[in-house]
Amino acid sequence: MKTTAALILLILTPVIGAAQDLNRFEEVTTANFFGLGARQMSLGGAGIASSMDGAALYYNPAALAGIHKIELQLGLTHQKFSNQTSQPAGRYNGFTSLLNSAKASQTKTRFGSINLTVPVPTYRGSLALAFGVNRIQSFDRAALFNVIDRNAEGFLVEDYAKEFETGGIYIYSAGAGVDVSPNLSLGLALHIYSGKDDFTYEYTYRDETNGFGESINRRVTEDYVGASLKGGLLARPNENLTIGLTVESPMDYQVEYVYQEDYVSSDDPDPVTDAYVVEYDLTRPFVFGGGAAFRIGTFTVTGDAEYADWSQTAYGDIPDMEIDNDTLSLLYRDVLNLRGGVEYEFPSVGLALRAGAFSNPLPYRSEAIVDGRNKVYIDSDRKGFSLGFGWLIDDVLLLETAYVRGGYTRRFSPANAGNVNVGTDLADAKDTFSRVYFTLSYRY
């Protein structure tokens, strides 16, 4: 087990989307919020104080107490992910750059959620139980890196890399919300996290000046299982204002990591295969949230703030990985997510229009000192906007949709960084995403 654990530290994750110095420590589940609930996502992802449907099971279980009819909620998501990489020209002395950028995209439509909320008759106040399955994280992405240079004699040097990744994390939840006073509700939910990440990587290098070439084909799969508790509070100081607070417990993911790689070079045409399996623990920190919603007539403005110190991320169960926990605390940082939006209702036609914005920073430090060198990882942090609407059909059926657009840009050291001129070893990777959420809620 210790041998395979040492091997896993060589390469843990993708090399295009992440900094080469960060890649083996980049955990795909960290601060990777895909979102659920069309209403919440059309409000920038805010839902701690403004959730009024089954998605409250995730955002703030205390808000479940406000559901007074049996509700069945179904959700569907659609995402288009786009990536563009570029590297400065002139990486080799005496060479002219013919190509130094590449684009890739991926489109996926997925099951998003199913939530069932059941009110329980009480003498006073309200009590509601809820059960659900929600896709809370997405690993769907693609990336290309392609650079070609030519010298005066016409010889080429080319680097080509391709990544393709699919999967996600689902949470299986059970929770309850209860009114403990006319203006105060409490809630608690148990979340079981389960999912899989499937990553493939292809790399080829061709150097006509030296007659050398090599290729790598790699596949990595990771299975995740974990559990957490999330508590919530919802207070209504007056008829216009609602305040919510949440806290989610730390969680230990149990991870099964399966690795396979084939390597071929012009020096040795016989493939060299490396394959192994290792299991380890990954600890995630507390997540704290707070939100407020202010309503006047048919107009509502709402906002959330969520805090987590991702520098407390840690490996466990394998001593050869635990020794790198100090490096994790150096590369990761604490993050404050900000999400907010506005809603205007037209009661006469059962229509609500919404818009929002969000800032969900990446959990990595924008700069860090590693091995005595200054590394830059984040060029433009993750942020975006949202639009959406809700349409009440026949008093019992509610159709809601949201459109979310966002992105970020990172800098990374490509596979050829050791061969290029000083100062040109950093490349840019710009990721953008467009997401559409559909939610259908039936109350009876």
pTM (predicted TM-score) = 0.90
Alpha-carbon span 184 to 235, nearest angstrom: 5
pLDDT of residue 418: 46
Alpha-carbon span 422 to 373, nearest angstrom: 13
Say which range, 145-154, 234-243, 338-347, 371-380, has the weakest mean pLDDT: 371-380
pLDDT higher than threshold 80 for residue 217: yes
| Burial classification of residue 321, based on how many CB atoms lie within 10 Å of its CB (0-12 exposed, 13-18 middle, 19 or more buried) | buried
- Between 396 and 20, whose confidence is greater? 396
Instruction: Report the percentage of the chain scoring pLDDT > 70.
Output: 89
Instruction: Report the percentage of the chain scoring pLDDT > 90.
Output: 70
Region 147-165 average pLDDT: 90
pLDDT of residue 427: 80
Residues 90-138: tens digit of each pLDDT: 777 788 889 989 999 999 999 999 999 999 988 888 999 999 999 999 9
pLDDT of residue 413: 67
Residues 431/141, Cβ–Cβ less than 8 Å: yes
Residues 20-59: tens digit of each pLDDT: 444 566 788 998 999 999 999 999 999 999 999 999 999 9
pLDDT of residue 112: 95
Per-domain boundaries in the chain: 2-443
Q: How confident is the model at residue 167 (pLDDT cuts 50, 70, 90)?
A: very high
pLDDT of residue 5: 35
Q: How confident is the model at residue 88 (pLDDT cuts 50, 70, 90)?
A: confident
Region 426-444 average pLDDT: 93
Which class in CATH covers the domain with range 2-443? mainly beta
pLDDT of residue 256: 96
Gyration radius of the chain's alpha carbons? 24
Residues 48/304, Cβ–Cβ less than 8 Å: yes
Alpha-carbon span 17 to 37, nearest angstrom: 28
Q: How confident is the model at residue 327 (pLDDT cuts 50, 70, 90)?
A: confident
pLDDT of residue 370: 54
Q: How confident is the model at residue 421 (pLDDT cuts 50, 70, 90)?
A: very low
Mean pLDDT of the chain: 88
Alpha-carbon span 285 to 335, nearest angstrom: 12
Region 176-198 average pLDDT: 97
pLDDT higher than threshold 50 for residue 19: no
Alpha-carbon span 63 to 57, nearest angstrom: 8
pLDDT of residue 23: 56
Region 363-367 average pLDDT: 81
Q: How confident is the model at residue 371 (pLDDT cuts 50, 70, 90)?
A: low
pLDDT higher than threshold 90 for residue 1: no
pLDDT higher than threshold 90 for residue 356: yes
pLDDT higher than threshold 60 for residue 143: yes
Q: How confident is the model at residue 326 (pLDDT cuts 50, 70, 90)?
A: confident
Residue indicated by tokens 């601060």: 31
